[in-house]
């Protein structure tokens, strides 16, 4: 990070807000030592005179920096709450492709999500053309898992229903790959979120889901994909999983062919106050 000394007014706001204490005042001007800096950008965001910029334009372009404008950046809290209450997990999709510009906006929502120590460890795999190939590997894996579960007398009874379901899904795929799809429900798009830190990836996934809804699309998170990927390393290879990364979520995305009319009830929040 760099401070333009001609612009700096010595207000010390950047120094006060620096979580890693990398900013000092020299001759009443801010100086960034760049010893412990994690490029979080707080100094850029808080400076009242735009005196701070990034010294790495290749990875951190200052062209992306936007000045705060209340009308453009403020969301009414009640409307935001209603927006979140109304979201549904969608499993009925139109046979309509998702436009590339909408895919980019969804990933942008993940890219601008906060990460621990600004590590920015979240990555994404976009699956469009090879959904059927990936589906076949996943269903084959689930079928093998089901066989083991059914042959093990110690398998909990509540899990046996999933074993039978996975076998039906696999048999249906083998019989007619283009027939019924109870895995991805014929959605045209998957976005798989990967990260070293599970919280980083989870936060990104949650914000991406909000963007999906805002774009008029629908999604649900495929737990079956995650179970299969945990058992079969080939799935990780197919989606470009790097060493140290974990699969955080698989978002199944498309245009809904169902229209919901209202929100639904939820249990009361369980709260511990101290």
Looking at residue 196, the DSSP 8-state letter turns out to be S
Distance CA 70, CA 115 (A): 25
**Within 13 Å of residue 19, how many CA atoms lie on the same side as its CB?**
8
Task: Summarize the confidence of residues 153-171 as an average pLDDT.
Answer: 92
Check residue 247 and give its pLDDT: 97
**CATH number assigned to the domain covering 75-260:** 3.40.109.10
Q: For residue 86, what pLDDT band results from cuts at 50, 70 and 90?
A: very high
Task: Give yes or no for residue 118 having a pLDDT over 90.
Answer: yes
Distance CA 130, CA 31 (A): 51
Q: Which residues pair with 193 in a beta bridge?
A: 124, 249
Q: Which residues pair with 24 in a beta bridge?
A: 31
**In terms of Cα–Cα distance, which of 188, 211, 204 is closest to 106?**
211
**Chosen CATH of 2-64 out of 3.40.50.10880, 3.30.1490.20, 3.30.70.20, 2.60.120.260:** 3.30.70.20
Task: Summarize the confidence of residues 35-44 as an average pLDDT.
Answer: 93
Q: For residue 117, what pLDDT band results from cuts at 50, 70 and 90?
A: very high
- Per CATH, 2-64 and 75-260 having the same topology is answered no
Q: What are the boundaries of each domain within the chain?
A: 2-64, 75-260
């Amino acid at each position: 990070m760099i401070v333009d000394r001609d612009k700096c007014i010595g207000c010390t706001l950047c120094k006060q807000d620096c979580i890693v204490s990398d900013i000092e005042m020299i001759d009443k001007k801010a100086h960034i030592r760049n010893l412990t800096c994690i490029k979080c950008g707080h100094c850029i965001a808080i400076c009242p005179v735009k005196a701070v910029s990034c010294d790495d334009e290749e990875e951190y372009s200052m062209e992306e920096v936007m000045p705060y404008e209340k009308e453009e950046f403020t969301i009414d809290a009640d409307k935001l709450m209603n927006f979140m209450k109304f979201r549904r997990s969608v499993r009925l999709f139109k046979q309509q492709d998702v436009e590339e510009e909408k895919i980019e906006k969804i990933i942008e929502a993940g890219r601008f999500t906060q990460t621990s120590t600004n590590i920015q460890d979240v990555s994404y795999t976009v699956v469009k053309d090879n959904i059927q190939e990936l589906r076949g590997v996943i269903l084959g894996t689930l079928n093998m898992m089901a066989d083991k579960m059914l042959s093990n007398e110690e398998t909990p009874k509540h899990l046996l229903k999933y074993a039978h379901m996975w076998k039906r899904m696999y048999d249906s795929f083998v019989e007619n790959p283009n027939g019924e799809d109870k895995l991805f429900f014929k959605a045209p798009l998957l976005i798989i979120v990967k990260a070293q830190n599970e919280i980083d990836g989870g936060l990104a996934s949650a914000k991406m889901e909000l963007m999906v809804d805002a774009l008029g699309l629908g999604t649900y998170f495929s737990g079956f994909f995650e179970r299969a990927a945990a058992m079969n390393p080939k799935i990780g290879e197919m989606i470009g999983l790097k060493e140290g990364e974990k699969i955080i979520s698989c978002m199944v995305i498309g245009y809904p062919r169902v229209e919901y009319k209202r929100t639904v009830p939820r249990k009361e929040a369980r709260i511990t106050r101290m």
